[in-house]
Chain A
Amino acid sequence: MAKILAVDDSASMRQMVSFTLKGAGHDVVEASDGSEALRIAQGQGVDLVLSDVNMPNMNGIELCKNLRQLPNYKFTPILMLTTESAGDKKMEGKSAGATGWIVKPFNPDQLLTTIKKVLG
């Protein structure tokens, strides 16, 4: 049972992720872009952040960098949701401090398996 922050500008993706994670017994908070996510993260502690890369206002990479600046989020697992299997996007994520990635498209089971990796 963890508190997860799900960030994606696509409502259908957010809904799917939220539904899947809640079904597995987790608590989910949603945000539609990086700046909203950052505000939420500052206001409450979460155990895991799942974020899309391409979003308006603040993209996933920026969000990750900003989160890592917050004392509470130095070690929090942050997973990037990326459709790009290209190495450079993953590199960008890593250098921003991301823990890992999930490649889109993914199905609910893949999502759950992956977050198990970081939630233990």
Chain B
Amino acid sequence: MSIDLSQFHQVFYEESYEGLDAMEQGLLDLDLVDPDAEVINTIFRAAHSMKGGAGTFGFTHVAEFTHVLETLLDQIRSGQRAMSQGIQNLLLTSVDCIRGLMQGLQSGAEADLTDAHDLKQQFEAILSNETPADVSDETIDTNQTSVEEETGGSGWHIRFIPELTLLQTGNEPVRMFRQLADACDGQMKISVDTTRLPVFTSMDPEMCYLVWEVQVDKAIDRSVIDEIFEWVIDDAEIIITPLGESSVIKEVVEPVPQAIQPKEEKTLSKPVEKEKPSTKQPAKTQESSSIRVSIDKVDSLINMVGELVITQSMLGQLGQNFDITRVQRLQEGLAQLEHNTRELQESVMKIRMMPISFVFSRFPRLVRDVSISLDKKINLEMSGENTELDKTVMEKIGDPMVHLIRNSIDHGIEMPADRIAAGKAETGTVKLDAYHQSGNIVIEIKDDGAGLNTDRILQKAIENGLVAEGANLSQEQIFDLIFQPGFSTADVVSDLSGRGVGMDVVRRNIAALNGSIEVSSERGKGSRFVIRLPLTLAILDGQLVQVGKEIYIFPLVSIVESIQLDDLSINNVGGHSDVLQLRDEYVPIVHLDDIFNIANEKRPIEESIIVVVETDGEKIGVVVDELLGQQQVVIKSLEENYKRVDGISGATILGDGTVALIVDISSLTKMSGASSKIIDGSHKAA
């Protein structure tokens, strides 16, 4: 029977990734001076498990590589070798390497073994440096018999003298003899020797007193016999002689460990650099298409569906013989339905929710690596790891967060010497926090570094032509400049950040998740980035508006305010664009029907409402006829059967079954060509 082992591969990959995470966590947590034995054990077991599984499923290269790790870890856990930062680094780099190998296996790509090979050599160098006290695990069990005889002429004679306690190992001589009989097609004779059997009264039934003589009359291989008795070699005296030999050669079969020559002293090919951390890119979190859900969530879902079925059947019955007197029952039923539906919706959304710790867990490693390579001292504090958010949102927020944290470390936190000079503690602190707030998840990244240098930022913006010379910008506006494409104040483009492609991409990625990012900072004290994300991607809190014959949806998160106005506050600029004066700024007016090319009767502006929306720090005022209600809408794709439309981010189905389009504020702003922000100073209200 041949079993297809590939069905178990996926589970193996998943548990290996978990094991690798556990290894990494353990290695990061390890106190190098006084390592916790249990942590070392955990790390060892993870490597051991992966080796076993990889071997079983035929992933030889992984098995071979993990084997050296396991060997080293075994020495450490048995106290033969001490842990060191060099070993810690090597192990961390190996974790990355194995992750890469696993991903390669999963995707079916050709394995790139160069890194594994390099690392393996480093391991072997370490291992060969000291001959550990024990025999190295290359010991091979060899049954060395003094007489090399494969076949015993015409058969064998076996005298089997078990130790009295043989049975207590669970071994049963009769089973072994049966196997022997199978091996020689029954051509054997067996007799029992009861000499050892004591008087019945003093017999212990759990002891094996019997001794057997077996004669095998078939020329089977000696190795076959050895294999049958291999487990009981130490629990029995087994005398095997080939038939036809006059002298009985007493061969006591014993395992003889091969003498191991200590490996030649190799000069270390690559000295493990003390300062070099594992700078290999931490493997990108796999965007997996499966999700682990706790049983409770599933049970609660089942309950809710049950209740929904009850409500449905009740309404069904009501509908069968309906008359107007039963309208109240109907209303009650519908209220019940609404309640069930809402609970079900919450319940289902919870399934996609996972604690943010899954993405936070990347960061201790990141902070460690980055701070080592920059020679800075950084302490990472995390809180709110249990805050839950949608799995897809979480997978997509990881990279922006990595960028922000790198930024904090690279640009925010000062060098230890500078910090001391500024009267701060030598070790900088980066704080991560996550919590729920009014239906959103809020993620904060705070540092106690130097804060944003508004002068440098402004200067750079002028250099890049983003801002005119002599422009008068508020502090917020200056902070906002860092999100402009191509912007970076780093003098030298460091490997980590400062390539100037970072912050605008961060903001765009967050906007793509229907979220927002804000920055606040105090010179010399530190900076704070606040990311707000909706709890799920498929649902949007929307404001319904009427424009002509159509209903549109504005994302609630983008609405600043709505104004009903009189004509006086509208100024006309350059003969074609209207501008609204809103307190101390001017906001361009946008007519949706113009931009969308939808025929509409023009309403006089006094009867219209202006909805001021904001995106990417830019405000525009959109003219609408009426404000309708606010509601949660389910986002449906327009692209699925049509294509991407500028100004529209999706569609939804209203209660009456008709389709309403969801406005993409950022795209709309671009389409309108309006730019309220980067204007020369003359437009600033006096």
Contact = CB atoms under 8 A, between A and B. Distances in A.
Contacts of B385: none
A109 B55 CA distance: 15
Nearest to A90: B141
Interface residues of A, number: 46
Q: Which of A12, A68, A101 has the most CB of B within 10 A?
A: A12
Contacts of B63: 105
Contacts of A10: 12, 15, 49, 52-53
Interface in A73-87: 74-78, 81, 83-87
Contact of B51 (A83, A97, A98, A112): A83
B141 A85 contact: yes
B206 A74 contact: yes
Contact of B169 (A20, A91, A94): A94
A107 interface: yes
A98 B45 CA distance: 21
Contacts of A100: 171, 230-231
B316 interface: no
A70 interface: no
B234 interface: yes
B199 interface: no
Contacts of B45: 9, 54-56
B175 interface: yes
Contact of B49 (A54, A68, A78, A87): A54
Interface stretch (B1-9, B389-397, B433-441): B1-9
A39 interface: no
Contacts of A97: 168-170
Q: Which of B2, B137, B231 has the most CB of A within 10 A?
A: B231
Interface string B669-681: 0000000000000
B1 A112 contact: yes
B456 interface: no
A99 B15 contact: no
A12 B167 contact: no
Contacts of B12: 10, 12
Q: Which of A20, A56, A81, A83 has the most CB of B within 10 A?
A: A83
Contacts of B1: 23-24, 108-109, 112
B48 interface: yes
Given A84-B137, A109-B2, A54 B44 contact: yes
A12 B66 CA distance: 17
Contact of B55 (A54, A101, A104): A104
A34 B161 CA distance: 33
Contacts of B140: 85
Nearest to A97: B169
A15 B8 CA distance: 7
B386 interface: no
A12 B231 contact: no
11 contacts: A9-B49, A13-B52, A52-B52, A56-B45, A75-B206, A77-B171, A83-B51, A85-B140, A97-B169, A99-B169, A99-B170
**What are the 4 closest A-B residue pairs judged by CB atoms, nearest first?**
A105-B55, A100-B231, A99-B170, A12-B12
Given A54-B48, A56-B42, A97-B170, 9 more contacts: A9-B45, A9-B49, A81-B52, A86-B141, A87-B139, A88-B139, A105-B52, A105-B58, A105-B63
